[in-house]
């Protein structure tokens, strides 16, 4: 077991823990915002009845569920990697086990930085929106959300900044590690509104793949410059599919999935335009 591999595995374990911390902070901030918005009266109605506030509240819901979904999926890959690694150590002649272990190892290595970047940035956005829902009171030290906002702010810095998570994920992106998983998700039998949403995700996936190919044709400095946008595009496509998959099992999830896809998936087209227009 090489030292680099050991250190990387230690770092990835901590990164996943920070993702979980970020999901916890986002959940607390989201709940605090809903609680306050249901109580506070302004202009003859409670805040949650005001569309501008309702929009912030539901954005917090969508981001928190999305971050938790990616965290759980990544944790599942880590568990499967460890279980298959132990099995193939015990039965070295089992070639299938060795291959399966390698597959989950690659997925865990890619999804860990994706999850850390996505969850910690989401926690910042959710805590920011939660303060906004509280108005001036949210800024005050005695309010729980003020503390949550400060806590969220360190999470995308320690255990590797978001920029370094992007560096860590770029190799897996270029190797198309997620492609077989995206194929499996795309082939799920979605129906009704979920099928319509899945068609939008499929389109965004094509845009992302074409954008990555465009960047690869150019210099390595273009890849470095575009990496943040490419990581965001792939994450949005992947999380959208995961949310749609979960909505198949629990129809109540469809509303939040729709909210996430409507609000965030259009970013894919915007990033594609910027990547193509920017000269490195
Ligand atoms: C409250 C707190 C607790 C901490 N706890 C611990 C701890 O327990 N153990 C520990 O070891 N450390 C700890 N740290 C340190 C923390 O991990 C570092 O601050 C963090 O990794 C960023 O490193 P840096 O501060 O040197 O920033 P720098 O590396 O100087 O980064 C500055 C900026 O440049 C960007 N940047 C730097 N290099 C690259 C690159 N190659 N590509 C793209 N962008 C880049 C960064 O993303 C960042 O935006 C803690 C820090 C704080 C504030």
As for the ipTM of the complex, it is 0.92
Nearest CA to ligand 1 atom 11: 159
By most ligand atoms within 8 Å of CB, the mutation choice from 11, 117, 157, 162 for ligand 1 is 157
Torsion of CA 243, 248, 249, 251, to 10 degrees: 90
pLDDT on residue 1: 59
Q: Is the pLDDT of residue 184 over 90?
A: yes
C-alpha of residue 157 to centroid of ligand 1, in Å = 6
**Cβ atoms of residues 33 and 134 within 8 Å:** yes
How far apart are the C-alpha atoms of 109 and 274, rounded to whole Å?
28
Element (H, E) at 46: strand 45-46
> Which numbered atom of ligand 1 lies nearest the CA of 160?
21
Does residue 17 line the site of ligand 1, with CB under 6 A?
A: no
Element (H, E) at 42: strand 41-42
SS3 assignment, position 234: helix
Cα-trace Rg, the chain: 20
**Nearest of 265, 239, 266 to residue 253 by alpha carbon:** 239
- What is the arithmetic mean of pLDDT over 43-55? 97
C-alpha of residue 24 to centroid of ligand 1, in Å = 22
Is 213 exposed, middle or buried (CB count within 10 Å of its CB: 0-12, 13-18, 19+)? exposed
**Nearest of 48, 35, 70, 106 to residue 264 by alpha carbon:** 70
SS3 assignment, position 45: strand
Nearest CA to ligand 1 atom 38: 164
- What is the arithmetic mean of pLDDT over 227-242? 98
Q: Is the pLDDT of residue 10 over 90?
A: no
Indicate the length of the chain as a whole number: 280
- What is the arithmetic mean of pLDDT over 99-125? 97
Residue recorded with tokens 């920029």: 163
Q: Which residues are catalytic?
A: 159
Does residue 161 line the site of ligand 1, with CB under 6 A?
A: yes
The rounded percent of the chain whose pLDDT value lies above 70 is: 100
SS3 assignment, position 178: coil
Give the residue ranges of DSSP H helices in 91-143.
95-134, 136-139
Mean pLDDT of the chain: 96
How far apart are the C-alpha atoms of 179 and 184, rounded to whole Å?
9
> Which numbered atom of ligand 1 lies nearest the CA of 161?
47
Statement: 178-277 belongs to CATH 1.20.120: yes
3-165, CATH topology level: Butyryl-CoA Dehydrogenase, subunit A; domain 3 (1.20.140)
Does residue 157 line the site of ligand 1, with CB under 6 A?
A: yes
What's the pLDDT band for 3 if we cut at 50, 70, 90? confident
Out of 18-22, 30-34, 65-69, 96-100, which region has the weakest mean confidence (pLDDT)? Answer: 96-100
By most ligand atoms within 8 Å of CB, the mutation choice from 151, 158, 224 for ligand 1 is 158
In which residue ranges of the chain is CATH 1.20.120 found? 178-277
Phi-psi region for residue 106, left (φ > 0), alpha (ψ -120 to 50) or beta? alpha
In which residue ranges of the chain is CATH 1.20.140.10 found? 3-165
């Amino acid at each position: 077991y090489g030292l680099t591999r050991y250190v990387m595995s230690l770092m990835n374990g901590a990164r996943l823990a920070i993702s979980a911390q970020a999901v916890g902070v986002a959940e607390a901030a989201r709940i605090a915002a809903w609680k306050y918005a249901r109580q506070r009266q302004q202009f003859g109605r409670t805040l949650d009845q005001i569309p501008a506030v309702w929009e912030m509240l539901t954005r917090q819901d969508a981001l928190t569920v999305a971050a938790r979904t990616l965290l759980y999926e990544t944790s599942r890959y880590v568990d499967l990697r460890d279980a298959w690694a132990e099995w193939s150590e015990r039965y070295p002649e089992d070639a299938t086990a060795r291959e399966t272990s390698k597959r989950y190892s690659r997925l865990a290595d890619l999804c860990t930085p994706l999850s850390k970047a996505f969850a910690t940035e989401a926690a910042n956005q959710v805590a920011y929106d939660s303060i906004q829902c509280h108005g001036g009171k949210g800024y005050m030290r005695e309010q729980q959300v003020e503390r949550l906002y400060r806590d969220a702010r360190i999470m995308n810095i320690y255990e590797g900044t978001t920029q370094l998570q992007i560096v860590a994920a770029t190799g897996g992106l270029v190797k198309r590690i997620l492609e077989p998983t995206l194929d499996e998700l795309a082939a799920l039998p979605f129906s009704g509104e979920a099928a319509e949403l899945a068609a939008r995700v499929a389109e965004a996936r094509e845009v992302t793949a074409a954008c990555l190919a465009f960047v690869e044709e150019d210099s390595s400095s273009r890849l470095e410059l575009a990496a943040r946008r490419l990581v965001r595009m792939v994450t949005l496509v992947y999380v959208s599919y995961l949310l749609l998959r979960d909505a198949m099992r629990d129809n109540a999830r469809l509303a939040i999935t729709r909210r996430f896809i409507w609000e965030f998936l259009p970013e894919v087209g915007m990033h594609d335009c910027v990547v193509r227009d920017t000269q490195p």
